[in-house]
Amino acid sequence: MSSRSPDELLRIEGIRKTFPGVVALDSVDFDLRRGEVHVLLGENGAGKSTLIKMLSGAYTPDAGRILAGDEEVRIHGAQDSERLGIATIYQEFNLVPDLTVAENIFLGRQPRRLGMIDRKRMDADAEVLLKRVGVNVSPRTRVRELGIARLQMVEIAKALSLDARVLIMDEPTAVLTSDEVEKLFAIVRRLREDGVGIVFITHHLEEIAALGDRVTVIRDGRSVGQVPASTPEDELVRLMVGRSIDQQYPRERTDAGEALLKVEGLTRDGVFHDVGFEVRAGEVVGIAGLVGAGRTEVVRAVFGADPYDAGTVHVAGAPLRPHDVNAAMAAGIGLVPEDRKGQGLVLDASVEENLGLVTLRSTARAGLVDLKGQHAAAERIAGQLGVRMAGLGQHVRTLSGGNQQKVVIGKWLLANTKVLILDEPTRGIDVGAKVEIYQLINELTAAGAAVLMISSDLPEVLGMSDRVVVMAQGRVAGELSAEQATQDSVMALAVSTHTNGTDGTEASRGH
């Protein structure tokens, strides 16, 4: 550990935490100073979430100590954490959709007058906090009416209402556009100037030098180094995964075969119009575009999850019945959705049960589930994908994000999918797990499958696609070969029909 600074707000020394069969943290050291952004970096499953849950009072350590200033403290719950001036903003927002912004900010702590909630004062106090974080929204607005970026700001305002001296931000930029990220960074910098200490967790390495002061790297539950935020990305990756990664986007191109997926004239009134493209065997086709361009809506329609009004979808030359997920799966299409927790997994089911979801019916014998066969298949695919788990019976909810994503993809591999649609396949996943998923894409295309990939990470689209289809305002604006596709050429198409009446958000984090 470094020597103690007079500006130190918080210090963790030798923290250890175990769960049945798992050592989550082992002798972790960390400290936070007034007016700094201290980045906590590590792979999915390295122990970052366990550490911040100790600071928020969800877990208590088995060994080690936590100091606030010079005083050793015990954090046994959220109230202890709040009393110490620690506020945590998790990836999944902790807001009540049907309450107003002001009611959410002061939930459980509403100002009162004559025994009644003083709504006028509550709204006025909320307005001051909202102005401080730079968001123009009425305190009386229902939270369900807000977009992701504004929800993030409401969470920060809520944290400030607690007089937080320590603000923990867990992947705050994971679902934000480039413009929204810049606005968030401006707020974080203002908080830093006000003396707030910020623990910032991110998988986007480019954000570290832009915002951070120091970085503590955690690997396999241990703190393995503390370095300046200016440390080169290659060195950060080496510290994080324990090895060098030679190539960030290791695409291995193969000769394309027959068209396995062909979409023509696909139209849904008011959402997308006359969309057409094809994906051939052995090929990765990326779909790029601005937020709201209709990318996710198109692939959900192709998969049968949503209806469409006109157009056709063919798989390996055969027409696909519209709005019929079962027909799509029978034809060999698989979809890894952008919301893996909400749409791709049954969180309270086991790894084995999730891996077998797609093949449960097709492998049944005389109407009975083939438990033995399902177990053997799950064991094989989990081993092939390198899923880090205590065992196949572990609830998938308790896996890291990268391992959850492997399970979502694994269920389609067991189904021998011909066309795999990947919507934001590496969102919220560390660089090591990303490369593993890219290698998996290579294995799929080498075996003759076709991959259709949507990503808001433009460098990812450019690095892993053989062709790029660019959408703008619900239409295909153009198609580029791997040689033609650059950030500038993709963006030129993405904004080609984008009028001033739109929200002006950017196509990717990489631009």
483-492 per-position pLDDT tens digit: 999 989 999 9
Q: Which candidate, 408, 448, 417, places its Cα nearest to that of 328?
A: 417
Q: Would you say residue 249 has pLDDT above 50?
A: yes
Q: Position of tokens 């409401």?
A: 154
From CA 127, how far away is CA 177, in angstroms rounded? 25
pLDDT band at 505 (very low <50, low <70, confident <90, very high): very low
Reply yes or no on whether the pLDDT at 397 is more than 50. Answer: yes
Average pLDDT over residues 402-431: 90
> pTM of the prediction?
0.72
Looking at the predicted structure, is the pLDDT value of residue 511 above 50? Answer: no
Asked if residue 31 has pLDDT above 80, the reply is yes
Question: How large is the average pLDDT for residues 392-404?
Answer: 89
Most confident of 3-17, 88-102, 208-222: 208-222
Identify the three-state secondary structure at position 194.
coil
Q: What is the pLDDT of residues 187-209, one digit of tens each?
A: 899 899 999 999 999 988 889 99
Q: Which of 31-35, 95-99, 196-200, 501-505 is the least confident region?
A: 501-505
Would you place residue 3 in the very low, low, confident or very high pLDDT band (cuts 50, 70, 90)? low
Between residues 497 and 381, the one the model is more confident about: 381
Q: Determine the Cα angle at 464 with ends 334 and 343, to 5°.
A: 30
Q: Could you write out the three-class secondary structure of 396-411?
A: HHHCCHHHHHHHHHHH
pLDDT band at 55 (very low <50, low <70, confident <90, very high): very high
| pLDDT above 60 (res 234) | yes
Compute CA distances 131 → 118, 134, 154, whole Å: 20, 5, 11
- 261-298 residue pLDDT tens: 999 999 999 999 999 999 999 999 999 998 789 999 99
- What's the whole-number mean pLDDT along residues 317-322? 96
Question: Which percentage of the chain shows pLDDT scores above 70?
Answer: 96
Which CATH class name applies to 8-241? alpha beta
Residue 498 has pLDDT above 50, yes or no: no
**Confidence at 497, pLDDT banded by 50, 70, 90:** low
Which residues lie below 8 Å from residue 45, measured CB to CB, with a gap of 6+?
388, 399, 400, 402, 403
Measured between alpha carbons, how far is 407 from 429 in angstroms, rounded to an integer?
Answer: 13
Q: Which residue has the tokens 């202890």?
A: 80
Give domain 259-332+417-494's CATH number out of 3.40.50.1370, 3.40.50.300, 3.20.20.450, 2.130.10.10. 3.40.50.300
Structure tokens that stand for 354 in this block: 């999730």
Chain position carrying tokens 């086709």: 285
pLDDT average, residue stretch 390-417: 90
24, amino acid identity = A
Q: What residue type is assigned to position 222 of the chain?
A: R
Q: What is the mean pLDDT of the chain?
A: 89
The CA-based angle 301-306-312, given to 5 degrees, is 35
Where does the pLDDT of residue 169 fall: very low under 50, low under 70, confident under 90, or very high at 90 and above?
A: very high
Domain regions of the chain by residue span: 8-241, 259-332+417-494
Q: Is the pLDDT of residue 83 over 50?
A: yes
Taking 50 as the threshold, does the pLDDT of residue 504 lie above it? Answer: no
